[in-house]
Structures are given as C-alpha cells and as structure tokens.
Amino acid sequence: MSAQRAPRYTGRVSTAVVVVIFTVRDGELCALLIERAAEPCKGQWALPGGALLPDETIDGAATRKLADETGVSDVFLEQLYTFDKLGGKADIVVAYFALVDFERTRLREDLEWRPAWHPVRALPPLAFQNERILALAEQRLRNKLEYTNVVYSLLPERFTLTEMQQVYEAILGETMDKRNFRRRVVGLGIIRETGQTRKRGAHRPAMLYEFTSREPVTL
Amino acid sequence: MSAQRAPRYTGRVSTAVVVVIFTVRDGELCALLIERAAEPCKGQWALPGGALLPDETIDGAATRKLADETGVSDVFLEQLYTFDKLGGKADIVVAYFALVDFERTRLREDLEWRPAWHPVRALPPLAFQNERILALAEQRLRNKLEYTNVVYSLLPERFTLTEMQQVYEAILGETMDKRNFRRRVVGLGIIRETGQTRKRGAHRPAMLYEFTSREPVTL
DNA sequence: GCAAAAGTGTTCTCTGTACACCCATGT
DNA sequence: ACATGGGTGTACAGAGAACACTTTTGC
C-alpha cells in the first residue's frame, strides 16, 4: 500500500497467525502447545497457528485459532509482533497473545496433533524458533500486568484476593506482600467486593471480589 | 507455520511495509508524508512505504524505505503494529516507526511523489486510513519517551538541555519545569556533560551534553 | 545597563515498601 | 485447642511536583 514510485512489484507472501495462549494453573504460568505429528519438526512442540483462510482478517484468524484450541472467546487477545524468517512454511508470522482462565478451557481432543499446557519455566523442544515468540509474549504479559487490568482474563467471574495474588506471583515470579497487594488492587479500582464469601477448609471464609471492568483498561 | 491439522491451505497475501518517520522541527512534532501523484487517492498524502522486495525481510524493507526517503540510517526504528483491510493495494501492512534528527535528513527530491514534513497536529487528508497508523505511532512515541532513552534519535550528537526539553515538550504537548526536567534526565544517567559550551546570542553560554548510549535502553 | 536564556535548591506530597498480629472456621 | 488460611495498620524512604532568583553573555 501507500506511496511509492518504484516499479510496482507486488510481493505476495505466505502469511500465518500464531497465538500464545497463557493460563495460570497450580500457581504456574503455562502456555498451550501442540505436538507436531508430521514433518517438519515431527515430535517437537509448536504454538497453535496456521494460515489465514480466504478473506479472513488476522484478528479473525487469531480469534478462530484460540476458540478452536480452547473453546473460549471473549477473553483478552492482543497482537504481539510480526516475525519473518522463522523457518516454517510461512514467510511472515503475525503472533498474538491471549489470556484464559484455566477452568473455562476445554482443550480440543486430538490424538495426533495433541494440545497440552506446558509451564513456561520448563518448555519442551520447540519448532520454528517459537521460543522467541514465547519469550516476547511473556515479557509483554509481565509489563501489561503492571499497568493494565488484563489479569481479569486469567480469573473467573468471582475470586478471592489470594487467588488473584497467586496469579500475579506466578507471572512475575516473585512473592508479594499480602497487605500491600490488597491495598494496591483495591485502590486502583480494578476490582470490588461482591459481598459474598466462600468457605473453603478449616479457616475463615474469604471475601469474593469481581472486576469492575472485564474490558482491557490502561491504568 | 506451526502446528495445524486442517487441510493445508496456504494463504499468499500481498504484504507491504510503511514507516512513520517522526522528527521535531521548530518545536513541533512532524511526520514525513508523500503526496500521491497517481490513483488511487491521487493528491492525498500517505506514509512512505511499499511492497517487500524479493527475499527482503520486513525489517530490511523498513530500513530501506527510511534511508530512501531521508538518507539516514542508524536511528531508532521499531516495528509498530500489523494492520489489514486498510483499503490500499496491500492486504497486510506492517507498520514501523522511526525517529530522526531533522538536521541530518536530506529528503528525496521528487517532483511527482514529493515527500514533506507535516506537523502531526495539522495533517492534510491522508490515504488508506493512515491516520490510524499515525495515531498509534504517536501514542507509542509518547509512552517510549517516558521509560526509554529513544529521544537520543531526535537530537544531534551534542545538544543543550533546553533543546532536549523542547523535544519532550513538543511530543508530550505540555510544558515542563526546567529544574525538575534537568534533575530527572541527568539523574536517569541517559546523558552526561561534555565539558564544552555553546555561545548563542545575548546570554550565558549553554553546557553541551551527549547521550551515554546511542542504543535504545529501557530505564 | 538591559534584555535574554542558562543555571541552580528546598519543601511538600504522595507512593511504594517493609513488617506482625488477630480472626473465623473445621476438625 | 489447634491448625489453617483470611484479614488488617503504621512507619519510613524515595520520587515527583511546585516554586523564584542569580548568572553570564551580547548589544
């Protein structure tokens, strides 16, 4: 597109979309990977993705991939970066990243191209330089956690402050002070009390909170 | 690229690169635009850009476009966002943004496809929804200014603190306190005194500073 | 000596951090 | 009664914001 004098060579290149899908499970940040059942890189793991369908937007392709693999939609999904020369079939790969609540996902069942959650601190061998994409996504996630409310997309409708804190700790990889954490998130206005409590085990019941907005907001 | 079971449809789409080139001139943030000399959108202005050359990387294409239009290289240049359905010839447009010192640029001379600097607060009619790209680039620039040293790419080798402050004020659109500004930028360690001064007009000479790094650094 | 830009310190507020004990419940 | 996680307040330090006058030069 756009202005250019040069002879009008029109590069047509094969373009694909991949999605880094993060969740927090058992206090660990995990990403969804798919085991490759065919060459190239058979037996290695790769991010979910694929070519665009005819007339499909790139956002649309990312949304579709996310839904195909996890069954969820209406979650945080954002474009991450566009790569080239990654070594796969596509010349250009537009990467997205998504955040999902583990409890809401239903992974596609496939014996051949099996999807599975992998802790990002213990990844298997990855195809097509997918480490680079994952590393960038993780960094963006850490940043966004600090100055946006994106954590809403990793938690259920109602949750306790301890659960919320565990999500932050899993992603940032550091423990936090309970009192400071609570003051901060309540003070920022991203969550509010529901008035309901939840009894779980031999201790005082926990207040349940909800997000004031389930749309991404920059603080 | 990457894992996919579906029938292997490979979308080949036409892909282009555009570059938002910013500079600060006379205390105004300006962007480089090119007047379209042919249909579609003849007479409107558009961001410099064009299709990828065979075997060219997207970074390479952006670097080339920047050098073609301004004669500069070795400046801050970063991928911004990837758009589709903008209405031009390309299906997919990978946008970059660059920061250049006005004094170092030599615009390409072309009677037909004329490049010119335009203040971003007073843009002419733009082709292909280029307003969206410019708005996003400007927002990113403002953000980066706050937590990185990218301003190095808008200033010459040696400069006064007043010049540096004027760049910040032009981009952020607000005046700043001289003493606080100086404390901050010196305290951050992104610049240092050169020991040299510069006499300019009927007043005390100004100390010349230089950047401690001319690579992008996140603070 | 006057106009013009350069340069320089202090005070206050706010934000973030460190830190330890009591509470409500189940067994 | 005891074990378990839930819930709360205060003190200190560092960062950022507000604010006005003196210095050096050219004319």
- B 78-137 residues with CB < 8 A to A: 79, 81-82, 84-90, 92-94, 110, 112-113, 127-128, 130
Angle made by CA atoms B80, B78, B118, in degrees to the nearest 5: 75
B108 and B23 in one domain?
yes
Round and report the angstrom distance from CA (A103) to C1' (C16).
33
B93 vs A110, which has greater pLDDT? B93
A163 and A112 in one domain?
no
Rounded to an integer, what distance in angstroms lies between the CA atom of residue A67 and that of residue B141? 33
A116 and A182 in one domain?
no
A143 touches chain B (CB under 8 A): no
A158 and A107 in one domain?
no
φ and ψ of A87, to 5 deg: 100, -5
- B 175-214 residues with CB < 8 A to A: none
pLDDT recorded at residue A7: 46
B154 and B47 in one domain?
no
Rounded to an integer, what distance in angstroms lies between the CA atom of residue B5 and that of residue A38? 10
φ and ψ of A38, to 5 deg: -145, 165
DSSP A151: G
For residue A32, the enclosing domain spans 15-137
Q: Does B218 fall in a domain?
A: no
Structure tokens at A122: 């213990």
pLDDT surpassing 70 at residue B1: no
- B47 Cβ neighbours under 8 A, 6+ residues apart: A2, A3, B18, B19, B20, B31, B32, B33, B34, B95, B126, B130, B133, B134
pLDDT recorded at residue B12: 85
Q: Which residue, A137, A167, A187, sits at the end of a domain?
A: A137
* pLDDT tens sequence across A11-38: 688 999 999 999 999 999 999 999 999 9
pLDDT recorded at residue A12: 85
Structure tokens at A67: 């839904």
A72, A81, A90: which is closest to A127 by C-alpha? A90
pLDDT recorded at residue B192: 97
pLDDT recorded at residue B59: 98
Q: Does A216 fall in a domain?
A: no
Three-class SS state of A160: coil
A100, A11, A169, A20: which is closest to B61 by C-alpha? A11
Structure tokens at B118: 């335009």
Nearest to A79 among B5, B8, B82 (CB): B82
pLDDT surpassing 90 at residue A136: yes
B7 touches chain A (CB under 8 A): no
Q: Which residue, B92, B119, B147, sits at the end of a domain?
A: B147
pLDDT surpassing 60 at residue A2: no
Partners of B92 in the β-ladder: B15, B84
B141 and B34 in one domain?
yes
Q: Does B4 fall in a domain?
A: no
- The percent of residues in chain A predicted with pLDDT above 70, rounded, is 95
pLDDT recorded at residue A100: 98
Q: Does A21 fall in a domain?
A: yes
Q: Does A28 fall in a domain?
A: yes
Check whether residue A194 has its CB closer than 7 Å to nucleic acid strand D.
no
Average pLDDT over chain A, rounded to an integer: 94
- What CATH number is associated with residue A64? 3.90.79.10
pLDDT recorded at residue B10: 56
Q: Does B5 fall in a domain?
A: no
* pLDDT classification of B4: cutoffs 50, 70, 90: very low
pLDDT surpassing 50 at residue A4: no
* pLDDT classification of B9: cutoffs 50, 70, 90: low
B62, B42, B47, B52: which is closest to B12 by C-alpha? B52
Arithmetic mean of pLDDT, B8-20 = 83
B139, B106, B164: which is closest to B20 by C-alpha? B139
pLDDT recorded at residue A131: 98
- Backbone region of residue A2 per phi and psi (left: phi > 0; alpha: psi in -120 to 50; beta: other values): left
DSSP A63: H
Three-class SS state of A141: helix
Contact of A100 with A21, CB cutoff 8 Å = yes
- The percent of residues in chain B predicted with pLDDT above 90, rounded, is 90
Give me the DSSP letters along B85-143.
--SSS-SEEEEEEEE--GGG--PPP-SSS-EEEEETTS---BSTTHHHHHHHHHHHHHH
- The percent of residues in chain B predicted with pLDDT above 70, rounded, is 95
- What CATH number is associated with residue A183? 1.10.10.10
A137 vs B8, which has greater pLDDT? A137
Q: Does B7 fall in a domain?
A: no
Average pLDDT over chain B, rounded to an integer: 94
Chain position carrying tokens 């790209």: B133
* pLDDT tens sequence across A154-207: 999 999 999 999 999 999 999 999 999 999 999 999 999 999 999 999 999 999
* pLDDT classification of A6: cutoffs 50, 70, 90: very low
* pLDDT tens sequence across A38-48: 989 999 999 99
B137 and B61 in one domain?
yes
Q: Which of B2, B33, B218 would best serve as a mutation to test chain A binding (most A beta carbons within 10 A)? A: B2
Arithmetic mean of pLDDT, A90-117 = 96
Give me the DSSP letters along chain B.
--B--S-----EEEEEEEEEEEEEETTEEEEEEEE--SSSSTTSEE-BEEEPPTT--HHHHHHHHHHHHHS--SSEEEEEEEEE--SSS-SEEEEEEEE--GGG--PPP-SSS-EEEEETTS---BSTTHHHHHHHHHHHHHHHHHHB-GGGGGS-SSB-HHHHHHHHHHHHTS---HHHHHHHHHHHTSEEEEEEEE--SSS--EEEEEES-SS--B-
Q: Which residue, A95, A114, A137, sits at the end of a domain?
A: A137
Structure tokens at A40: 């190239």
B160 and B134 in one domain?
no
Structure tokens at A83: 């790569």
B162 and B139 in one domain?
no
A130 and A32 in one domain?
yes
Round and report the angstrom distance from CA (A200) to C1' (C26).
9
pLDDT recorded at residue A10: 57
pLDDT surpassing 80 at residue B5: no
B124 and B46 in one domain?
yes
A187 and A119 in one domain?
no
* pLDDT tens sequence across B31-74: 999 999 998 999 999 999 999 999 999 999 999 999 999 999 99
Arithmetic mean of pLDDT, B168-190 = 97
Contact of A73 with A67, CB cutoff 8 Å = yes
* pLDDT classification of B7: cutoffs 50, 70, 90: very low
Number of domains in chain A: 2
Q: Does A125 fall in a domain?
A: yes
Structure tokens at A84: 């080239």
Contact of B141 with B171, CB cutoff 8 Å = yes
